[in-house]
């Protein structure tokens, strides 16, 4: 009976990415109606669940910290491709789409994923441990890049509005790549132990390390699933835009919805890890995703804006600045200690839901 159940789960995890890819191909050039949107969302959920499974297989083979990095990089590279594709086909929203998506990603990862991970993990233990050295390093890198790329344009005087001059944009893009490169070096070479929590008692989903064959298969299926997830996000985005515009909501809502869809695999993976007592993986996924999103997106936007001649607006609005500063302050308090409780998770979730509310009611 157990063997049959494992076989069925294996078939589902194989069918999830493939069915998602087929769905993208079928609807790529069409505008789906209501029933088709419902069908795409069902397939999307299956693709997300499959992606999380294959990410866990990879993490079990290469280690949790490197596994989180692989998932964050894969999602972010495809996310950047989606942003560029929408920018190339958009007019009015092209100049602010990159900023809105990056800011939404920061709020979702640093507040949503972190908050839910702490709350879920705290259901089993009142006090939770994690490695503050690695999480603190990642948070400081996020704060540096986000401040340079999203806050500084509000105060520069070289160009009109919350924008950079071309030399400023080039410098900030280079600085973003340098900071992200330093983080990767620390994570993978110099201080890998800072991103593992030796004090955590973790129930791993795999009794033994997966085989090399399983690892290669999961890498392939994870990439297929992520491409399909981003593709389905692009397919249903016109329908989302129609609903948003029809309801009189801000265009910023579209960026929020797309970011939520794109980050769904990482969010679910972090929550599943937290439910096993592995809070460190939740922090690695959250901060790694935020850092990859900013570090890769800003240089890419600089290149694209220079090619298609878009006046790139990167500076945050006053409301977004307040939320960003509040996130930085609360996050510093969270990672400054080796242990956290339900309370810190609740604070992050309050900020996260405030962000969602203000996106719909600015």
Report the chain's C-alpha Rg in angstroms: 20
Please list the ranges in the chain whose pLDDT falls under 50.
Answer: 1-6, 8, 207
Long-range contacts of 328-332 (CB under 8 A, 24+ apart): 328/143, 331/110, 331/114, 331/139, 332/139
CA dist., res. 300 & res. 289, Å (int) = 16
CA dist., res. 56 & res. 205, Å (int) = 8
CA dist., res. 222 & res. 7, Å (int) = 19
Q: Quick check: helix, strand or coil at residue 188? A: helix
**pLDDT tens digits, residue range 307-332?**
777 777 888 989 999 999 999 999 99
pLDDT of residue 192: 64
CA dist., res. 200 & res. 277, Å (int) = 7
**What does DSSP assign to residue 251?**
T
CA dist., res. 288 & res. 64, Å (int) = 12
Helix ranges restricted to H, 309-341: 318-335
b/e burial code for range 207-231 (CB count within 10 A of at least 16 → b): eeebeeebbebbbebbbbbbbbbbb
Give ∠ CA 327-198-63 in degrees, rounded to 5.
85
Ramachandran region, residue 239 (left: φ > 0; alpha: ψ -120 to 50; beta: rest):
alpha
CA dist., res. 220 & res. 229, Å (int) = 14
pLDDT of residue 1: 45
pLDDT of residue 330: 93
CA dist., res. 112 & res. 126, Å (int) = 20
Q: What global pTM score does this model have?
A: 0.79
pLDDT of residue 260: 82
249, burial (CB in 10 Å: exposed 0-12, middle 13-18, buried 19+): middle
With the C-alpha atoms ordered 345, 74, 295, 105, is the resulting torsion angle positive or negative?
negative
pLDDT of residue 193: 64
pLDDT of residue 147: 94
Architecture of the CATH domain 2-360:
Up-down Bundle (1.20)
CA dist., res. 147 & res. 128, Å (int) = 29
pLDDT of residue 263: 79
Contact present, 141 and 182 (Cβ < 8 Å):
yes
**pLDDT tens digits, residue range 143-195?**
999 999 999 999 888 887 788 888 888 899 899 889 988 888 877 777 666 66
Instruction: Quote the tokens at residue 52.
Output: 């999380």
With the C-alpha atoms ordered 262, 230, 235, 217, is the resulting torsion angle positive or negative?
negative
CA dist., res. 114 & res. 112, Å (int) = 6
Instruction: Quote the tokens at residue 285.
Output: 């996924």
């Amino acid at each position: 009976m157990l063997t049959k159940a494992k076989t069925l789960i294996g078939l589902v995890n194989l069918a999830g990415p493939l069915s998602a890819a087929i769905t993208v191909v079928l609807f790529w050039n069409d505008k789906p109606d209501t029933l088709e949107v419902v069908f795409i969302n069902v397939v999307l959920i299956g693709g997300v669940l499959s992606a999380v499974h294959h990410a866990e297989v990879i993490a079990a083979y290469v280690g949790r910290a490197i596994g989180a990095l692989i998932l964050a990089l894969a999602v972010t590279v495809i996310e950047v491709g989606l942003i560029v594709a929408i920018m190339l086909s958009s007019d009015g929203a092209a100049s602010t789409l990159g900023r809105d998506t990056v800011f939404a990603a920061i709020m979702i990862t640093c507040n949503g994923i972190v908050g839910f991970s702490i709350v879920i993990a705290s259901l089993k233990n009142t006090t939770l441990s994690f490695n503050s050295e690695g999480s603190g390093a990642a948070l400081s890198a996020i704060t540096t890049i986000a401040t340079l790329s999203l806050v500084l344009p509000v105060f520069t005087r070289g160009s009109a509005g919350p924008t950079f001059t071309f030399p400023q944009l080039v410098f900030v893009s280079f600085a973003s790549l340098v900071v992200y490169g330093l983080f990767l070096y620390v994570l993978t070479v110099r201080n890998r132990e800072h991103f593992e929590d030796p004090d955590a008692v973790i129930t791993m989903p795999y009794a033994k390390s997966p085989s090399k064959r399983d690892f290669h298969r999961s890498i392939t299926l994870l990439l297929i699933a992520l491409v399909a997830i981003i593709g389905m996000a692009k397919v249903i985005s016109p329908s989302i835009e129609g609903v948003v515009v029809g309801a009189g909501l801000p265009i910023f809502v579209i960026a929020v919805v797309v970011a939520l869809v794109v980050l769904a695999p990482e969010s679910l993976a972090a929550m599943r890890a937290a439910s096993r007592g592995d809070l460190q993986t939740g922090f690695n996924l959250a901060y790694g995703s935020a850092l990859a999103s900013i570090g890769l997106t800003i240089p890419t936007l600089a290149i694209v804006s220079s090619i298609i001649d878009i006046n790139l607006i990167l500076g945050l609005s006053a409301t977004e600045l307040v939320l960003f500063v509040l996130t930085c302050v609360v996050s510093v308090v969270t990672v400054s200690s080796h242990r956290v409780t339900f309370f810190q998770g609740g604070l992050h979730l309050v900020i996260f839901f405030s962000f969602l509310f203000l996106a719909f009611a600015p």
